[in-house]
Each structure stands twice: as structure tokens, then as C-alpha cells.
Structure 1
Amino acid sequence: MRTPRWLLATVGAAAAVALAACSTTPAGRQASGGSSAAPGALTPVTLQLQWFTQGQFAGYLAAIDQGFYKAKGLDVTIKEGGVDIVPQTVLAQGQADYAIAWVPKALASREQGAAITDVAQIFQRSGTRQVAFANKGITAPAQFAGRKVGNWGFGNEFELFAGMTKAGLKPADVTLVQQQFDMQALLSGEIDAAQAMSYNEYAQVLEATNPATGQLYKPEDFSVVDWNSDGTAMLQDAIWASTDKLSDPAYQDQTTRFVAASIQGWAYCRDNVASCRDIVVKAGSKLGASHQLWQVNEVNKLIWPSPAAGAGTIDPAAWAQTVGVARTAVNADGQTVLTRDPDAEAYTNDYVTRALALLKTDGVDVVGAGYQPETVTLNPGGN
């Protein structure tokens, strides 16, 4: 089987690490968890994000801003991601202590030899959507037949192909279009259905002006296919740790504290959406303030309410569905994400269970059973 493009990206990851200009690691400080701290001092920890600074990562930024990491004895540096950075590879190469990565992509890297373990499943639901203008009559995967369907590729496309397969469609039944990481092709009419994240690209169409009215587009102008409802969703943002270092009691303890503070950051963002928007903007996001408010609000929907056991818990059924799609969904190149089931060390609930116990002792609501999202008004261009 040919090596997929989204795995070939890992080949250049070592160079990408060296080019991670957005890293804020102080000079002379080790990025890996092997550095030792004096008694009573904060332990330096580096987290690698999978994309640029935005509301998708608000909980980690909030944990720094609100002092949650410091309260757990950690001095956390966040390394921004980017187009050429593969976070799970950065972690596997020892250039970060933890990484945020989608489960199928990280499992593909693990199958190729990256010793990484999912220690907290932050996003409990998929944020991937397929968006079309409502007048196209596309409300289900079966209606992609004969249409121009955009997708980003690079491992982001497998929910789409799983949904098409479930609907009885083959790749040849649609015209597949390599989509840029925006919605311009949809808005211009070049494609009929576009890939979008609920917290990012979907907002972009609602921030655009409808030429027929001179006003911003409204949700009713579009139809949205949600892979969660279709039953082909895959788990996305998770906290990954070094499998090898998890044999070290000090790293085990550090992992528990890191996961606890991270979840506390997300609980803060659940209850303080506008504050977390401000934290993200202050951290250097290039996106507008209303767009970031939308992002934090929509990301909260992927986390809360969490399983009864608490946020970050890895649901075996959701994991099994993700693995099933990764093993059976075939993209236009005839490739699957995985060629075999991941081994038993690919994920563990041990650390998140301990982390949740710490948070419950501190009185933190780790389930959010009564969670209600806010209503966000988007401004033109997301400003």
C-alpha cells in the first residue's frame, strides 16, 4: 500500500520542529520532561498544539492564564502548530512533553512507530461537517452523488468517505475537489459541498455577505451534514503522552497533574466563554474577536456535557468506532488510515481518572451536566 500523503508529512517533521518559530520556550530550558526541578520549583512542561493559536485550544491557554498549571506545580510552554508541524511526531521525537492531535492521525503515526498514548480525550464529539447551500438539496451523504464535493485531504477526509460508503456511494460517484482550508470554493459556487469544522470554517460562511441581500448569510441558507448523527464520526483532539516515559513514576505524576489542570482550563472556558475569547485573542490569534467567541462556544459543545465519569474520559465505544472507520473507510487513493487494530497501549484512562479525582476534590464540575451553549452573534469577517 502506498504511503499516504498525511503520513509522508511526518518525514519532514524533524525539520518542522526546528522551524517552530512560534515556540515560546525560554532559551536554555529543555522542552522534554527529562529536566529536573529543584524542590518546590515548578516543573517545565511543553505542549505542542496541532494548529495555530485559536479557540480550539482555549482550555490550555486558560490553564496558563488562570494559574491552573502553576497550582499543579507546572510551568507550561505552549508551542503553536502549523501547516508543516505534525504534533504527534514532535512528541515522539522528544521535542515536547505532550501534544494535541486527532486520534486517527495519531494512531496512524503510532502504527508507523511513534510511541505515543492517548491519556485524555478532550473532544468527545467530532467537529467535522460537510456544508452546502440549502438550495442544493444536500442534507445527507447519499445526495453527494453527481456533485462536486470538497475535502482537505491529509487525513481529514475519512469521515466523509465513511459516510459515503455507508450511503452506498463510491468515490467515483462524486467529483472530489481538493479544498483549501477555507470556504471560498463553496461561496463562489465552485463546489457543491465543502468540508468545515463547526468551530471554524462553518463560521466563515456565516461571516460572509450574501450578495442577494447585502446582509450576512444565515444558518438557514445552508444545510449541514454532521458525521456524529451519521454514525461515522471519529475522535479528534486528545492529549497524547510519551508511551515510553509513562513507565517513569515522575512522568506519570506529571501527566496526572497536567491533565487535571488542562481539564480545569476547559471547565473555566465552559463557564467563562467571553473571558476565554479574550485569553485567545491576547495569546496572539490572528482571527477576529467574534470568530473566536464562536470558536470557544462551539468547541465547548464538543466537550460538554462530558461522560458521567468526567471530561477527558476515553469512551471505549467511541474509540472502537474511530478505529473501525480508520480501518475500513477507503479514500479516493484506495487507502485506509490504519491497516491493523492499535495495541493496548494506544490509550489509557488511568491518568485522566486520577486527574478527575483531584479536580473533584477541589470542587471542579468535571461533567457539566447542565451545560448550555451561548448564542453568539458573528460580525462581518469575524471581527
Structure 2
Amino acid sequence: MHRRSAAGRPPSRRLLRPLAVAAALVVSVAACTTTGPGTDSSASGDGPQRVTLQLQWSTQGQFAGYLAAVDQGFYAKRGLEVQIKEGGVDIVPQTVLAQGQADYAIAWVPKALASREQGAAITDVAQIFQRSGTYQVAFADKGITSAADLRGKRVGNWGFGNEFELFAGMTAAGLTPARDVTLVQQQFDMEALLSGEIDAAQAMSYNEYAQVLEARNPATGQLYTPADFSVINWNDTGTAMLQDAIWASTERLSDPGYEDTTTRFIAASIEGWAYCRDNVESCRDIVVKAGSTLGASHQLWQVNEVNKLIWPSPAAGAGTIVPAAWEQTVRVARTAVNADGQTVLTRDPDPEAFTNTYVERAIGLLKADGVDVVGAGYAPTTVTLNPGGS
């Protein structure tokens, strides 16, 4: 997805992000011989424009909207032939974009801003996830219902830039993380929590949290239920950071052809997410068909939970970058200190770090076509998880 495993540490059995995928998967509207990114960003000839999108991780429900836009022909409708490239353990999507190896990339805002601070000329052009999906999960009997309750506990975190919401939350609760808790390097699964090695584990709402609900409670022989756990949601503490966004090349946005392509790409992508909002099971099937290695019930959970991070969208429409959420992300990125004493950012990003120009144009196109870009009446579905997510 968006994380990298610890160097030299073998992946565990429950790691749901295959490390050997690299860029193995390529999904396109039609089979063809492709040219390099950036060569087809303006209309030319009679065929569709070829565009490359770099994902953060392997095929899963986190990216269902883009896969649906391919499957349902939304990109084709906008005159685009989109090639979707999987991420992997050694792939940093914003770097791939900055180096000209993709036309667009999906990346978390703080990580992309850190790359921008280091010289990557990239711009957030559509903020797809409006809310953070990061949790800290504990067994209910541990009595951990807030960041303050982590005092004296063994607290797992992934590191690699995924820990800053947790550290900001603990700091806001009056804890000094390096002194008041025992920090444990957590693998990308929930086994350490389930075995009792740690008291609270980092989890994504759409992935690792489902893992504990797919596991059997040895005391009952049945699957665990949400009542068996407590969850700290960083959206509730004021330390959440913006996550999945569509990033474009800052320099190429001065080219009218790339600007037009960006508008149409965003419009089709948002229409894909609107389709997944209204057709959860269909999008589960699209993800499975695209080559996901995860189980069907786990993928249905993912699509449903990711929808909660997108819908309802701001009144201006899906993908809109809300200044208050952006400013909170920057504040946490500049002030939250991890166990190494590091912050994500050392200075405020420049004004070109984000723009609503293209998403506003895209929303105009979608409204003209009668697409619901807000989802004010959105309600999540109920998902029944199977053992192991099958």
C-alpha cells in the first residue's frame, strides 16, 4: 500500500502486501504497445491518450476506484487509455512520478510533501481520501480507549513515516513517547497484538483491523468481534493526516495539454470512486479480477472501509483539498517528533504543493454528466468477514 517493510526482516505469514510484486501488474483499458510516460499527455492522432498511474502498493480495495474507472470505461469515455502500475516494497510512487516514469501517482500527503521538500516537483491535484484510515487497536480488556491510556504500555508502530499520527496523538495527550511508553517495531500484520507481545497495534481501518476480525478467538473458537477490541481513531484527536491523493508533475502543469489530461484523468477517477460507492460488491469483484491476492470478504471490507474515507465528500465535491485538513496535516508533519527526534517536514510547503484548479474543472465535467460528486446520502454497507478474509 504505502509502507515499506523493515530491512532484513522476512515477511510474516499474515502480511497482506506481497513484497515481490514490484510493478508486475499492468491494467489498461485495451491491450496495446505503450510508450513512455509523458509522451501522450496531449491529444494526438485518432487514438486515446496513454496515461500511466503509479499506485502505492499491490492490487487491493484501497485502489478500487481507479480499477473501476478502467473496468467501467470511465477513462475511455474521457479519451484516456490508463496503465495502472502496482507498487511494491522498493517503489516510492512520488519518486516514480518526479523522475518522469509515470504521469500521475497515488501517495500519502505527508510522505509526498517530504519528497517535495527534498526536491521532487509534484503537486496534489485531487485529495481522494478526505479522512485518515489509521487506527491504534488494543484488546478491550486493556482499557486503552485514548492516547493517554497508552502510558506504560507496549505500543507497536510500523515506522517508515507511518507513525507520526500516533506520536502526535500521544504528545497531545501529554505523553513523551520515548519515555512514557515502550515502543515496539511492529511488522505489517497484527500477530504481535493477537499473541500479546504488544498492548496496542497500528492498523489501517481497511486492512489490518480486518485481520483481527478474521482471526479466531481461542477462548470461544469463533471469530473475534469489534466488541473484543478498542480503537483509537486519529480523526477524533485532531492529529489525523491526509492520505491517498492524486499527485501530478508540477512542471508539466504549465503545459496546456497536460492540464487538460489532468482534468479528464481526475474526472474519470472520481467517477470510478462514485461507482464503488454505489456498487461495493461489483468493485470487490473488479479488484479480485484485477489480480488481488487477498480474499473476497477482505476485499469487500476494504472497499467498504475506503468508501468511508471518501464519502460523503466536501460540499464542493470529491477530491477537493480542504484547507483546514491540509493545514492540520502540515502542522502535524512539522511538529510531531518520532522516536528518532525527526519531523516529517522542516518547513511549510510552498503554494504549488497543492491546487484545486483541476479537481474543480473535473467536478464541473461530472456534474454536467449527472454524477453525484458529494454522496451526501452515503451509507456504508455491512460486511461479514470470513476466517482469514476468504
Please confirm whether the aligned pair reaches a TM-score higher than 0.5, indicating the same fold.
yes
Q: How far apart are residue 373 of structure 1 and its match?
A: 0.3
Residue 159 of structure 2, aligned match among 153, 162, 171: 153
CA 1:24/1:365 → structure 2, altered by over 3 Å: closer, same or farther? closer
Which structure dedicates a bigger proportion of its chain to helix? Answer: 1
Q: How far apart are residue 22 of structure 1 and its match?
A: 3.1
Percentage of pairs with the same residue: 80
Q: CA RMSD for the aligned pairs?
A: 1.8
Q: How far apart are residue 109 of structure 1 and its match?
A: 0.1
**SS at 1:323 equivalent:** helix
CA offsets 1:224-256 (integer angstroms, 9 cap, x no match): 000000110000000000000000000000000
Counterpart of 1:58, as a letter, is: A
Indicate conservation of the 8 Å contact 2:22/2:87, yes or no. Answer: no
Q: Does 1:108 align with 2:108?
A: no
Q: Does 1:268 align with 2:271?
A: no
Q: Match for residue 117 of structure 1?
A: 123
Q: How far apart are residue 311 of structure 1 and its match?
A: 0.2
**SS at 1:149 equivalent:** strand
Number of residue-to-residue matches in the alignment:
371
Indicate conservation of the 8 Å contact 2:78/2:265, yes or no. Answer: yes
Counterpart CA distance in 2 for 1:20 and 1:296 is 22
Q: Match for residue 64 of structure 1?
A: 70
Residue 23 of structure 2, aligned match among 3, 20, 31: 20
Counterpart CA distance in 1 for 2:101 and 2:163 is 28
Counterpart CA distance in 2 for 1:31 and 1:45 is 9
Counterpart CA distance in 1 for 2:44 and 2:314 is 38
**SS at 2:84 equivalent:** strand
Counterpart of 1:43, as a letter, is: Q
Residue 29 of structure 1, aligned match among 16, 22, 34: 34
Residue 307 of structure 2, aligned match among 277, 297, 300: 300
CA offsets 1:49-98 (integer angstroms, 9 cap, x no match): 00110000000000000000000000000000111110000000000000
Which aligned runs of 4 or more in structure 1 are off by greater than 6 angstroms?
none
**SS at 1:240 equivalent:** strand
**SS at 1:62 equivalent:** helix
Q: Does 1:46 align with 2:39?
A: no
Residue 184 of structure 2, aligned match among 168, 172, 177: 177
Counterpart CA distance in 1 for 2:328 and 2:218 is 41
Q: Match for residue 291 of structure 1?
A: 298
Counterpart CA distance in 1 for 2:26 and 2:202 is 29
**SS at 1:225 equivalent:** strand
Q: Match for residue 12 of structure 1?
A: none
Q: Does 1:346 align with 2:350?
A: no
CA offsets 1:157-215 (integer angstroms, 9 cap, x no match): 00000001000111221111111111000000000000000000000000000000000
Counterpart CA distance in 1 for 2:362 and 2:32 is 30
Unpaired segments of 5 or more residues in structure 1?
A: 10-15
Unpaired segments of 5 or more residues in structure 2?
A: 8-18
Q: Match for residue 343 of structure 2?
A: 336
Counterpart CA distance in 2 for 1:304 and 1:38 is 36
Indicate conservation of the 8 Å contact 1:31/1:97, yes or no. Answer: no
Q: How far apart are residue 37 of structure 1 and its match?
A: 5.5
CA offsets 1:112-132 (integer angstroms, 9 cap, x no match): 000000000000000000000
Counterpart of 1:53, as a letter, is: T
**SS at 2:324 equivalent:** helix
